[in-house]
Amino acid sequence: MANVSQALARTRAGNQARATVMLGRFGVNLFFYALMSALAVAFLAPLLWMVTASLKPEHLVLSLPPDFLPRHFRWENYREVFEVIPLFLYNSVKLAFLTVTGVLLVTSLAAYAFARLDFWGRDFAFSVLLATLMVPGIVTLIPLYIIYKNIGWIDTHYPLWVPKVLHSVFATFLLRQFFKQIPQELEDAARIDGASTFQIYWRIMLPQVKPALAAVGIFAFLDSWNDLFGPLIFLNSLELQTLPVALKLFQGEFFSQVNVLMAGATLSIIPILVVFFAAQKYFLQGITMTGIK
């Protein structure tokens, strides 16, 4: 009987200990989810205000306390935006397409060469390429402007996408790391079958690095789509300007159409969301994947 009583006591103590551990884990999880929910609300509040402000009359946008839900939807704000932005939107889409396509092609070729080809000075050249990341862009602005002026690129779209394509150092570094992780046996087998270097790059290597290509493509798209500084510096003609510059047209020195500006900002983030969710699967793999099994 004594042994049975001791066994029951140990069982009760074990159950109590497990219950305490489970209760502690539940409390930690509850606190974690409550904290994440609060942070999500804090991050989404400006986005919600932007969307609701785009549907309000001008005099209600900056009212205090802020009214997140408009009583009357003013769709005319979007009509005013569409009267201004079609040409600017076309320019932004054109530059984004050229930038993304060029960056993916040039950086993948360069990364493949640095990762898989053996040539004299390869490591030194790659080190010099990485060293250029330490040079601030503002330092090279005036020399680049002089060069573009001398070759006739000022007031054209070339300065807004060609440098991004030819100097995507981070994208080259990222893709190189992925190319280096691909087993050498795949390349050797392709060479035995008679594949050329370009065929190995195009048919064997590129399909293996789709996650990294998606990540590079999204970063290149964001860099081009959100670029405001470049168009203001290198473009003079209004018909060549991009969407970020068009949004500045609704903001003056003494008066700003905040409701129309928010409508334009809402429209401008839609392509970003579409591109991200379309490539979300590969993008997350490109960020988190550290090896190939």
* Within a domain: 143: yes
pLDDT (tens digit, 0 to 9) for every residue of the chain, 293 residues total?
555 565 555 666 556 666 666 766 777 788 888 888 888 888 888 888 888 888 888 777 777 776 777 777 788 888 888 888 888 989 999 999 999 999 999 999 999 999 988 889 888 999 999 998 888 888 888 999 999 999 999 999 999 999 999 988 999 998 998 898 888 888 888 888 888 888 888 988 888 888 889 889 988 999 999 998 999 999 998 889 998 888 877 776 545 678 888 888 888 888 888 887 887 776 666 555 544 44
Q: Residue 225: what pLDDT? A: 92
* Within a domain: 132: yes
Verify that 166 and 262 share a domain, yes or no.
Answer: yes
* Within a domain: 64: no
Separation of alpha carbons 52 and 55, rounded Å = 5
Verify that 141 and 272 share a domain, yes or no.
Answer: yes
**Domain of 219?**
78-288
* Within a domain: 137: yes
Verify that 103 and 38 share a domain, yes or no.
Answer: no
Q: Residue 83: what pLDDT? A: 81
* Within a domain: 264: yes
Verify that 183 and 127 share a domain, yes or no.
Answer: yes
Q: Residue 110: what pLDDT? A: 93
Separation of alpha carbons 245 and 268, rounded Å = 12
Verify that 143 and 269 share a domain, yes or no.
Answer: yes
- Which two three-digit tokens encode residue 70? 């408009």
Nearest Cα to Cα of residue 286 among 231, 183, 208, 201: 208
CATH number of the domain that residue 220 is part of: 1.10.3720.10
Domain count along the chain: 2
Verify that 213 and 85 share a domain, yes or no.
Answer: yes
Verify that 137 and 264 share a domain, yes or no.
Answer: yes
Verify that 49 and 82 share a domain, yes or no.
Answer: no
Q: What angle do CA 201, 126, 111 make, to 5 degrees?
A: 20
Verify that 202 and 114 share a domain, yes or no.
Answer: yes
The predicted model scores a pTM of: 0.80
Nearest Cα to Cα of residue 73 among 91, 55, 89: 55
Verify that 12 and 144 share a domain, yes or no.
Answer: no
Structural contact between residues 225 and 97, judged by C-beta atoms closer than 8 angstroms: no
Verify that 47 and 128 share a domain, yes or no.
Answer: no
DSSP states along 170-204: HHHHHHHHHHHTS-HHHHHHHHHTT--HHHIIIII
Verify that 249 and 122 share a domain, yes or no.
Answer: yes
Q: Residue 291: what pLDDT? A: 44
Q: Residue 285: what pLDDT? A: 64
